Amino acid sequence: MAQILRQAAPFMAAVWVLTGAVLLLGLGGRWLDARFGTGPWLTTIGLFAGVAVGMYELARVALRSTPPPGNGR
């Protein structure tokens, strides 16, 4: 069980980064929209930026943990 958790830990951390980035940048965009009266534009940009940051982190972890081809595993 400990080995499974050790292998899954980077992916669980990447999911938290995805969630945190979407929440933080989305709420930041919402706050800026309320401050400057720009409508939903900065919220939308913040949400898309949060998804992009989170997906980048998830891809980085997934590609780093994939064994090289021809390794026999």
Q: Counting Cβ atoms within 10 Å, is residue 50 exposed (0-12), middle (13-18) or buried (19+)?
A: buried
In the chain, the N- to C-terminal Cα span, in Å, equals: 21
Q: What is the pLDDT of residues 10-44, one digit of tens each?
A: 889 989 999 999 999 999 999 999 999 998 999 99
CA-wise closest residue to 42 among 51, 50, 33, 52: 33
Contact 18, 58 (CB under 8 A): yes
Q: What is the pTM of this model?
A: 0.78
Q: Are 22 and 47 in contact (CB under 8 A)?
A: yes
pLDDT band at 70 (very low <50, low <70, confident <90, very high): low
